[in-house]
Structures are given as C-alpha cells and as structure tokens.
Amino acid sequence: MSDSTPLAVCFGEGMVALVAATAGPLEDCRTFHRSLAGAEWNTAIALASAGIRTSVLSRVGDDGFGRFLTAELRAHGVDDAAVEVDDQAPTGLYVKELSARSDGIVDGTMHYYRAGSAAAALSPRTLVTPTASALLSEAALVHTSGITPAISASALAAQDALFTDRRPDRLVSFDLNWRPALWRGREAEGKAIVSDFARRADIVFCTRPDAEAVFGTGDPQELRALFPQPRYLAVTDSRGAVAFDGEERAESDALDVPVVETIGAGDAFAAGFLAGVLTGLSLTGSVARGHRIATRALLSTRDHVD
C-alpha cells in the first residue's frame, strides 16, 4: 500500500478467540480453533483488505497469545507498531461456544476471560507514546467502539481523550457495539457514556437491536433525529442498512449469501463503509461496499474476514 493512501487507526481491545470445533456444550468439546478477535481489530483487518493503510493502537501481554495477535495483524497487512507489549498483564481471550439452529445458521455464545488483561490497562498514556502520537497526527480516521469504555476506567479516559483531541482533517468513527454484560450493574451509566460518544463522533454505526436497547428506538429516521451531530449514521440489521450523510439517506438490502455465523459482520460492514468514505465514494457506494465486505465475515465462524 502506498504511503499516500489515507491512514486509519483502530483503537481498542484485541483478544484471542478459542472457537469450538463442533457445535455443542463446552464440556463436550475437545477441540478449539484459535483466531483473532476484538471489534476494532476485526475492523482493522477488513479495512486493510479494502486497500486502506491501517494501524492498530492497543496493548497485548508479553505472551504467546499476544505474539499470535500481532503476527495476525501483520499477516493481514495491518501495522502493529503501536501495539504495546505488557510484561505484567496477560492477553485477554474468550471461548466461543457454538450451537446449531434449525435454519443452518450457527449461533455463537462468548465466554470472556479479560479481567486484568493488558488491553484493560489502555489509558491516556497509551496515546502519547512516540509511535502512537505519530500515527494519530497522520491519521485521516480513528475508529473505536462502545466496548472500549466498558472494559476499564482508564480505557474510558483514553477514548475520551481521543474524542477531545479533535482535528479538522481527522474523522472519528464510533461503533455502538453495546455489550450489556460489560455494563452489568451500571447500565444507565453505560448508556449515557456511549450516547455521548455517538454525539461527538463524525461517523456512527449501530445495529437496530443495539439502538433499541440503548436509545429506545431502532428506527433509522428516529435515530437520525436523536443524533443529528454525526455527519454519517449507519443503522444495520440482518436485512440490510440505512445510512445518512447529513440529510441524504441511502437504503440497501443485505446481499443474499449463505450465512454460517453473523458475529463479526458488523465490524466488516463498518470497514467497508469507512473505506468508501475515505476513498470518496458516494453514500450509496459506501453502503454497498460495506455489504460486500460484510458477506465475507458471514461465511465462517471466525470473527474477521480473510
């Protein structure tokens, strides 16, 4: 990729996913497949696959899982120079339990082991290392999500610092990614926090179910009225997407492809849409690009595109 292409920086937690090889209860599963996971990391890989120069800003443990994650980034053409290595805290992981539905789609249930992880120690200091500062000063886009502020108070402070350091030549993208389990016992606080980030972003993504849970409506037009501040707003569900650029509206059905599992498709859609914005596509073209990349995430039980 040429250095003249726009640079996207994805800020957030990377994790190792251990995916059950067969559907069924975890106690009956003997084999697991290892893969990279984490919303912003999935989006970074999909952005790179779309030809966007992409870096990840994050932290991993000084362990085999951390080395696996950074190697995976490099293998997919994503720069890992700003991924700090923590020699005290481990890399987070989750185990994905699979269950087969009668319609042939596989449902995934995640069991997380992330408490005290290296990524949970993300903080404003993460943003001011020489490598991170250089990337952020060059970035045309910074992408993050509603997961990051939920994993720790220091990660919330870091995300707030990113949104506060606004620059006219840099877009800030925010994917709602509402995870109720991460906000258990503080749901009202969590909804207020992610709502604030959505209003401060230039580009916002949300699924209809997440928007209904957090904002009380999944209707795209009502959401646009609630959130007029972002230039772009994209609302998705399994049937398709409705997106806004200012007052312009574009609507598109999802592509008809065989679905193995839906986890990761939203991250891939966001990447395709962002790639469209960064390369000057129309709103309709950006939505279409989002759908094309999302279909690649639907074809496997991995969270990211190949």
Distance CA 8, CA 104 (A): 36
Distance CA 49, CA 101 (A): 30
Catalytic residue among 79, 210, 267, 303: 267
267 is catalytic: yes
Distance CA 105, CA 20 (A): 15
Q: Which active-site residues does the annotation give?
A: 267
